[in-house]
Amino acid sequence: MNTAISDNRDARPLIACHECDLMQRERDVPPGGALRCCRCRAVLYRRRARGFDRALAYALAACVLWLISNTFPIVGLAVNGDLVETTLFGAVRVLYRDGMWPLAGLIFITTILMPALQALGMVWLLLPLYLNRRPWRADAVFRLLRVARNWGMTEVLMLGLLVAVVKLAHIASVVTGPALWSLAALMLLLVAASSSFDERAMWQRVESAPPGVPADTPLDGRTATESGICVCHDCGLTTRGMQRHRHLCCPRCGAHLHLRKPASLSRTWAFLISAAILYIPANILPVMNTSSLFGAQKDTILSGVAYLWTSGSPPLAVLVFIASIAVPMLKILAIGYLATSANLRMTQQSAFRARVYRLVEFVGRWSMLDIYVIAVLVALVQFSAMATIEAGPAAIAFGAVVVLTMFAAMSFDPRLIWDFPPTGEGSR
């Protein structure tokens, strides 16, 4: 992998790191390689090999599999000759019918809407380019695609289905539906499409000469903020921006630009404190209410982990414990550490804090695991007088914790980590 370097004698285009804000020169990257920041080691961009053809093929196949995954049953439960099957839409409908509309909306957005937008967005952008045409409203579709990538959680859903199947196998005979296998294929195709999609090459095709910063701009170890330059967090363009509707916007993708995220620490603390408060009822209150011929039972997240452990599935028990209990708590602590260090203007361990920030961004979505398990169980265990399962109040609290911690991580500006470097660091 290549590393960007700051060299005033070089006439290469300028680029600013989206995490530490350091201005540096671009370098050629071999196919499959990545350009990293010379200070914080963040990936500035990757060069994909044959990215357009592969990404378009994967995205088209993902569109077909999305239709199959949302039309046919995912899994079924057979008890005494009765077969109960469910689709993703069916699980959302049952939760909505039971009054759990916040949970139903969250599952609909993360498992149905966002994967569809992700696949369609890539087709929208890449198919015209394949036909040597410019995609219509490429700027708006590109920004929408970025949102869909952040909130689409097909891979977490597949893991949740695996845990749900293990739990259901102790109740009755589990019948796997065609949508289960198409969802697995859809997950792999979306990952492959995202990995093959070269955003930088796409913008070079759409706009041959982007209005960036002149190459003769002096560096001297300065940050983009010190030079009055913004880096677009959506398309990566280094620019001075343009005024549009009283906002400073990226001239390429139209996203709002800021030298720093406005009220970053205030919003981060607001989301974080709310998540910390809701974390308590999420782990104390029942997450599921089970009614059967043998009585009623209320299960918390921890009791669900204990059930998996005692029923002969220790690996899944450990997985659910990490994803549903440990990760949300550690994420709250990690974001709190980052926000506190920024408030105190800490100058030590900047590289370590940058790695913590990247880790927090990566693991945040996996806490949705238990929510998907609950959705499948609630949709399938509906045998009237024999047994029924309903989502408990902790499910909404836990879903809110996951969303709030993700918002807290998105609100935190990682450039605050590097705003007060030790003496000499800024002159690299």
Sequence-separated (6 or more) residues with CB below 8 Å from residue 119: 59, 62, 63, 66, 190, 193
- Predicted local confidence at residue 35, as pLDDT: 85
Strand order from edge to edge, sheet including 387-391 = 295-299, 288-292, 387-391
- Cα–Cα distance measured from residue 295 to residue 301, given in angstroms and rounded to the nearest whole number: 20
- Predicted local confidence at residue 145, as pLDDT: 93
Q: Using an 8 Å Cβ cutoff, are 381 and 389 in contact?
A: yes
Residues of the chain with pLDDT under 70: 1-11, 50-51, 81, 208-221, 245, 291-296, 382-387, 421-428
Rounded to 5 degrees, what are φ and ψ at 92?
A: -65, -40
Q: What CATH number does domain 259-421 carry, 1.20.120, 1.20.140, 1.20.81, 1.10.1450?
A: 1.20.140
Tell me which residue of 364, 377, 361 sits closest to 42, measured CA to CA: 361
- Predicted local confidence at residue 386, as pLDDT: 56
Sequence-separated (6 or more) residues with CB below 8 Å from residue 2: 27, 28, 29, 30, 33, 34, 35, 36
- Domain limits, the chain: 1-47+209-248, 51-207+252-257, 259-421
- Predicted local confidence at residue 256, as pLDDT: 84
- Predicted local confidence at residue 126, as pLDDT: 93
Residue 62: burial class (beta carbons within 10 Å; 0-12, 13-18, 19+) = buried
Rounded to 5 degrees, what are φ and ψ at 247?
A: -125, 150
- Predicted local confidence at residue 207, as pLDDT: 73
Tokens in use for 100?
């759990």
